[in-house]
Structure 1
Amino acid sequence: MRGPAGALVLHRVPRNPTAAVLLLHGGRAEGLEAPPRPNLPGLRMRPFARAIAGAGAARGVVVAEVRYEHRGWNGHRADPVHDVWQALHELCCVAGPLPVVLVGHSMGGRAALRAAADPLVRAVVGLAPWCPPGEPVLHLGDTAVVLLHDEADRVTDARGSWDYVRRARARGARAAGIAMPYGGHAMLRHAPAWHRVATDTTLGLLGLAPLPEDLFTGRVPAPPGPSRGLAAAGRVSGLPKRWS
């Protein structure tokens, strides 16, 4: 059972909030124990929280993160998804029924995509998300999805992200993939570019900033061919011109 601390960790609550961003860090495939302290995957999301909170267009945006009860996904239990739902409930109690963008990395990206059916969720931004084959897309409905992935990522497979985008589009969802030309899974190399693209995309999905006109209609990134390999793929920019 969840402890008294709850699932919602608030970073910034404006006086008159108009929208919210919930950040979800990565984890493990299996692990019933609580996330460790210090929680390095959680710390990696803090620069994203600061970048979003510091954007001028985000003055009315609540910025918060989801606290996990368990470290892992844990098969059919999908534990972090329940944490997202709990955090959304707590957010509604604190600030009312605001439109929410979920920003999730790795396992947190998978949890965000699974929780996209919640009526508060307007969009999902996945950072190097874990998208196994057959990950469901039918529940997306009107929820927009933008997945950022470096094709040189050796922890989660960018091909899974691009396949997810294609299947979501085929079912009528607004979905897009952005091939990041660097960063790997931890998004550390050229980290400011990840922070900038994630922030601009998040605010754009909330209607607070412009998005590339062809974001949801443009070409879905193609997986690297056998002659390119992972290392070569990591050097090829797939960013829209405004972010290059």
Structure 2
Amino acid sequence: MVLLLPDGETDSRRRPSSLSYAAQLPFARTLARAGAEDGLAVHVVRYRRRGWNSGADPATDAEWAADEVRRRYGDVPVCLAGHGMGGRAALRAAGHAAVTSVLAMAPWLPEASAPEPEPVKHLAGRRVLIVHGTNDARTDPELSYRLAERVKKTNRDTCRFEVHSDGHGLRRHRFEVVALAADFVRGSLFARSYARPVEDAFAAPPPLGLRMPLAAGFGRSLRH
């Protein structure tokens, strides 16, 4: 099961717009097709509120969704995949017992000067992939690199890819980003072999495995 967590806002108690949900549907369909032969199911989580707020509301919603997966489907492995604020929610909610892997794309993270660092110990035992565009003007790529450094110390099954010249939406190299996501999901949930660049990123020590460039054309001729 993949649970997709949309982007959002820092502070807002309004209900999310339908557009934030709809924007995830093409990605959801692509992942579902990639994992169809393995029986992959993909759902987009609908937040109660569009803001992170003071209580990490989207992370709480992600945990609720993981509970629902267990209630409806039984003991199946779950990958939390989020973009922007959803990326932070995926990382934060990964301590749920059903979660075995996390995909955080352009995650929105607290500044280095924040009173408390983002927790990472609960990520032990999960496969973690962070993807960030080097030209992201909304969420700082250096913050996700620093987080990845901290996670790597707790969990060796952590890697991070940099998408050269891409922005927050990761649209310039969308094909490669989606192919990377599909490869990670299939490898993590169904024990399939990862593409060689992903294997290398997991195996490489910092900083190499945390600043792995996403090559143009990734996914067009993968060898498993």
TM-score, normalising length from structure 2? Answer: 0.85
Segments of structure 2 that go 5 or more residues without pairing to the other structure are 220-224
Q: Retained in 2: the 8 A contact 1:84–1:112? A: yes
Q: Retained in 1: the 8 A contact 2:134–2:163? A: yes
| Corresponding residue of 1:165 | 148
| Corresponding residue of 2:5 | 24
Deviation per CA, 1:134-166: give whole Å up to 9, x if none.
211111120121000001000011111111111
| Corresponding residue of 1:238 | 213
> If you compute each CA radius of gyration, which structure gives the higher value, 1 or 2?
1
Distance in structure 1 (CA, Å) of the matches to 2:22 and 2:156: 32
Deviation per CA, 1:220-239: give whole Å up to 9, x if none.
445xxxxxxxxxxxxxx812
Q: Report the identity percentage.
A: 36
| Residue 50 (structure 1) aligned with residue 36 (structure 2) | no
Q: Retained in 1: the 8 A contact 2:126–2:155? A: no
- Give the alignment of 1:125-136 within 5 angstroms: 125-132=103-110, 133=112, 134-136=117-119
The structure 1 residue matched to 2:60, chosen from 82, 85, 90, is: 82
| Corresponding residue of 1:70 | 49
Instruction: Report the Cα offset of residue 183 of structure 1.
Output: 3.4
Segments of structure 1 that go 5 or more residues without pairing to the other structure are 1-19, 223-236
Distance in structure 1 (CA, Å) of the matches to 2:184 and 2:165: 18
| Corresponding residue of 2:222 | none
TM-score, normalising length from structure 1? Answer: 0.79
- Distance of aligned partners of 1:241 and 1:142 in 2 relative to their CA distance in 1, 3 Å threshold: farther
- Distance of aligned partners of 1:209 and 1:172 in 2 relative to their CA distance in 1, 3 Å threshold: closer
Amino acid at match of 1:31: S
| Corresponding residue of 2:89 | 111
| Corresponding residue of 2:129 | 146
The structure 2 residue matched to 1:213, chosen from 175, 199, 206, is: 199
| Deviation beyond 6 Å, 4+ runs, structure 1 | none
- Distance of aligned partners of 1:214 and 1:81 in 2 relative to their CA distance in 1, 3 Å threshold: same
- Distance of aligned partners of 1:193 and 1:240 in 2 relative to their CA distance in 1, 3 Å threshold: closer
Number of matched pairs: 208
